[in-house]
Structure 1
């Protein structure tokens, strides 16, 4: 189970990037440097709104070579569970927030001969922390950035104005320019690693196209903080320590059932399969893993699962709770 160091930070600045995207700059309250991080890292931001607490994961988009501040970008989501709405409508410069120390599930691969970066919408943010690192290492890289229309083009102007403009390609659906994944991946050089961050549809399209091209799984890297499908067939949940049994219906998660019934105390920071704090040992049954936290090998071992998002493949699941 992950144990995160939590840090109090002051909101130094808030910038409106597009009608739906704001950039937040955080600094430590004591003005000391923040913990070091590498490109692709994320933090968890905790927000308190009365008795309601929100906890969301956001990619760090600032340079890993400047830890005087952290920067994140928050897109206001239409179906927000409260976090993005709170950040957009309630957080002001000078406010104090609690954040986690950085964790990295989307690191740049040191084995890669070339780095192919594919971003969709707000999925551009982790790549903004990649670029200084890749440039300092004189890495061979290219970025392909897709968005539906000009209101989704967060940070396009900054990328165009940067020193690496000739390595970046932009695709705007409403203007009729779309990324041809089949063509892009057909030309992938040996040793290239492919990194994708964006909506589930983009991640799935890259997985499908890469599979058709025979690109190995270990060359593919994905990040997506919002899990769009946590539903599935109902199953019986057994908590071994108390012996209590529950039915987990199609539209509820294990964590929701446990919390609704006050059946056990479980820590969970992110609720999106990213932080690892709700990791729970599997005693019997088979998990249907939906998280991004475990490696493929760890998921296949069926030793533990993240109960905020993952379900059961078996009809009965016994957990060490």
Structure 2
């Protein structure tokens, strides 16, 4: 069931403008102790509170070296349709700001069974790979990084990658310069023991998954992560809260969590609102869910035992939940 996080009081010790839309934030514990250990691909939940009392909560990949837990680093892209979190981080957070962060969780870990790791990043999707690169180099494992972005000024951390120990294993693809990523060519030459990892915009993730399927690459060898909630699509449906007997209509474009909060029908904890933290996992008593989260495994989704209220919807007209 729902994941349990320890929350940590943190302080911002560094803010760097990396590209016009991306900032890097360095965080330490307020009590001066070391932060919890993590592995490449891990994320944390960052909770923010404005002077007006508004609260925001977003998930961000850890991009610093897992071997050094004196500090964490995250990269935050200013989203055009921000729900408030990225705008707050860019506009309000500065050196000395105090935030609350969660202990790390990893839904995008490197697979130890892989003989080679092929990393494909798009835009801000580079961040989890930066931590994984530290691990791969330390382990002496074979890897390569393919990083695509719109224009030279949007290539976050490109200079660091070019100047660092991963330069020979990194290739850049820049749309404005007509340097396109050829997924069919890349994945078509994949070794039998190689695994593919992709993080970035949904079109890139979908293209990698589709190309891998077309080439007959097993699903277990393709790993992906996207920190953006899938838009609530599909028609309206009814949710029944079994403990109170209340029935709620979840309209098109609305999440179950939003419908519950709008009517104060139940208390539901949710840290991320993006289907990655697991805190809003709820048991399904009747009906079937259309799962859009990244927290549950494919087997757990098929079992239809639980769902994430922040992003997932009903496949049936009526859904009864253990709330």
Whole-angstrom CA distance in 2 between matches of 1:84 and 1:236: 32
Whole-angstrom CA distance in 2 between matches of 1:2 and 1:150: 39
Q: Secondary structure of the equivalent of 1:10?
A: strand
For residues 237-280 of structure 1, give each alpha carbon's deviation from its aligned partner in whole angstroms, at most 9, with x where no partner exists. 11111111121111100000000000000000000000000000
Whole-angstrom CA distance in 2 between matches of 1:246 and 1:7: 35
Question: What does 1:260-299 correspond to in 2, within 5 Å?
Answer: 260-299=262-301
Whether the 8 Å CA contact 1:230–1:290 is kept in 2: the answer is no
Match of 1:170 in 2: 172
TM-score, with structure 2 as normaliser: 0.98
Deviation at 1:92, TM superposition (A): 1.2
For residues 35-58 of structure 1, give each alpha carbon's deviation from its aligned partner in whole angstroms, at most 9, with x where no partner exists. 000000000000001221100000
Whether the 8 Å CA contact 2:230–2:292 is kept in 1: the answer is no
Which of these residues, 223, 226, 229, is aligned with residue 227 of structure 1? 229
Whether the 8 Å CA contact 1:200–1:228 is kept in 2: the answer is no
Which of these residues, 231, 242, 245, is aligned with residue 244 of structure 2? 242
- Structure 2, gaps ≥5 residues long: none
Match of 1:35 in 2: 36
Whether the 8 Å CA contact 1:14–1:25 is kept in 2: the answer is yes
Question: What does 1:34-73 correspond to in 2, within 5 Å?
Answer: 34-49=35-50, 50-73=52-75
Whole-angstrom CA distance in 1 between matches of 2:179 and 2:317: 46
The alignment of Structure 1 onto Structure 2 pairs a total of residues equal to 321
Whole-angstrom CA distance in 2 between matches of 1:80 and 1:244: 32
Q: Secondary structure of the equivalent of 1:184?
A: helix
Deviation at 1:229, TM superposition (A): 2.1
Deviation at 1:232, TM superposition (A): 1.3
Deviation at 1:152, TM superposition (A): 1.5
Whether the 8 Å CA contact 2:225–2:294 is kept in 1: the answer is yes
Whether the 8 Å CA contact 1:25–1:71 is kept in 2: the answer is yes
Q: Report the aligned-residue RMSD.
A: 0.7
The worse-fitting range, judged by mean Cα deviation, of 263-272 and 44-53 is: 44-53
For residues 174-212 of structure 1, give each alpha carbon's deviation from its aligned partner in whole angstroms, at most 9, with x where no partner exists. 100110101111000001110000000000000110000
The worse-fitting range, judged by mean Cα deviation, of 121-130 and 146-155 is: 146-155
Whole-angstrom CA distance in 1 between matches of 2:275 and 2:208: 21
Q: Which runs of 4+ in 1 moved over 6 A?
A: none
TM-score, with structure 1 as normaliser: 0.99
- Structure 1, gaps ≥5 residues long: none
For residues 257-312 of structure 1, give each alpha carbon's deviation from its aligned partner in whole angstroms, at most 9, with x where no partner exists. 00000000000000000000000000000000000001101111100000000001
Question: What does 1:102-251 correspond to in 2, within 5 Å?
Answer: 102-251=104-253
Match of 1:312 in 2: 314
For residues 207-244 of structure 1, give each alpha carbon's deviation from its aligned partner in whole angstroms, at most 9, with x where no partner exists. 11000000111111111010242221211111111111
Whether the 8 Å CA contact 2:42–2:107 is kept in 1: the answer is yes
Whole-angstrom CA distance in 2 between matches of 1:125 and 1:162: 15
Whether the 8 Å CA contact 1:231–1:253 is kept in 2: the answer is no
